[in-house]
Structure 1
Amino acid sequence: MATQHLSSASQAPACSRPYPMAHPGYGKRSAPDQQPRTVADFELLPVRERSIAAFIDRLPDGAAMDVKGLAKQLPLYGQQAVASALKALSVAGYLRRVRCLVGGEGGPVRWVFRTFWSRTARDNEWWAALIADTGDRTGTRAGARPGVPAQRAAEAPVRAGVPESAEAVVAPAPGVPVLTASVPAPAVGPSEAFLALARLGQRDARLGLSEADCAVLEPLAAEWLARGADAARLTQALTAGLPASVDSPVGFVRRRLADKMPPRLRAAAAVPEPREAPVRRAMLECVKCGVPGRPEALPDGLCRPCRQPAAPVTGASTDAGTATAADAGAPADRDVKAYVAGLRELLALPG
């Protein structure tokens, strides 16, 4: 006769039908670096939390993790019990609810809600590092274009450049000799300083310069432009107040370029452009109320109001003529008749 071996560890309730899955991108996510599953998992938890944790641990990734869905699959516990158990499991370090921003870079952006589960209990620092890494992985890599591999994007600028006197090689067909075609270097036009000097003769015939004269004076004229002067100001400075005759146009223009050189302006202090605040692509979410926030603001996966224990409810004051601080609860939490009687007594007092 076979002997049945019983284990002290709680077993996960068996599902009578396949567990419902969340929408793509939502639902359960298994955390990395978990210990192998053993019968001693969750043995330090209370019975209810141990049973629900064993059930969640066996769910596949992508399974729905809402309280109502879990309660339907756990006949022993209602929605309130499941919500309390999830809060306890978050405090114990087994799960965190996270909002992740997916998409962007020209495409649609949407928030997805995921419940990260770890069979091994983790501390707040470990969960904060996981959430930060999740936000980095959900974003698009900087510098990469959507739909273009990084290697192809890096090679594109190299292929676009054509070196001077390059040769384009045409891939030969079988039995056909290789054909090469020389690609001429792009023609470079005269500079703005050269053109300004060449047009002086059109402005005034006394300053007509040859091509060789313009080439000699081009560095001085380029320095004018580098110091903020434009071609119109340069021409005005060289042609204003000319003598009756100019024996050497090149010497005259050289002297004026040197004598009337504008001052070099100090480079203004670069004002840093305002940087946009980085978009957080993953935020923690309170397990109980769902409010989002940074991991440091939600220790144990709970916001401050949800971490504080509920204040004890006290009865009505024995002194009908005064209202104490302990008597300041909501009417639903106190004896309604005593509350109404106290109000009537207060209204009957003289002003």
Structure 2
Amino acid sequence: MASPGFGKRSAPDQAPRGRDDFAHLPTREAYIAAHIDRLPDGAAVDIKTLAKELPAYGQQAVSSALKALNDAGHLRRIRRVVGEGRTQWVSRWFFSRTARDNAWWDAFLARTEGPPAAPAASAPLTEEPPQQPPRPQPQSTCSQAYIALATLGCSDPRLTLSAAECAALEALAAEWFARGITPLAFARILTHDLPDVVQCPGAFTRKRLIDRVPPLLPPAAQAEPVPPARPSQPRWMMECTVCGIPGPPEALPDGLCRACRGVEPPPDRPDPADVRTRVTRLRAIARGGGSPGT
């Protein structure tokens, strides 16, 4: 199986499995397609893994077969972020036993931009281990002030407080929050410019809570300005099935990049300055009766 989030994903609305599902494909492609079709969701279907699982075919043969499955409409590869607010990307291979055209794949992939779903189970439900009901989590009764004190050590280990110290300082910290301070500002002020060694974090924090208590503000001034929202990054993009280069769907028709489709890149346009220099030389040669080689 691939790592969580990676691997094969079955496309929806496929025809029931039958003997002639891949009869329209050449022998090698039909064999590899049938192998992928039998794999459970979440299984690794990259070129190296398939070449290890199918001794009759090497990596080059598997790569060519996957390209053919793209052309036939059975396979697409995408790159997608793991979850909300995270930057890790994973590769997923969507497989359809039923051949689909580009329009179907584009519409289907456009619907995958929501939060990632858990891999669909491919084994019968009777074989699944019994699901244990989630254990109820105890509700936290700690105040905002207590939590802010308890997490000071996360901002700077020198101010790691014990439970007794957090309880003793809770009232002083609560006064800060009553004056409109935020948890982020609370931690920033208390951990700013600390000495190299704090011998007694509890006593040190008590002194700072008293000495640096923020002033009372009128209600209208207590609300902090909301920072502008960061532009959301795309949650998924297509990948070339053969080489893995990412790009938008319109840049990868049939799931393949230009190079893997065998399309030559457009020739580079000459530099205008070089063109002008060349024209000037030719004119000078023409006026002098010489030749370009002189």
Give the TM-score of the pair, scaled to structure 2.
Answer: 0.50
The higher relative CO (CA closer than 8 Å, separation ≥ 6) is in 2
Structure index of larger Rg: 1
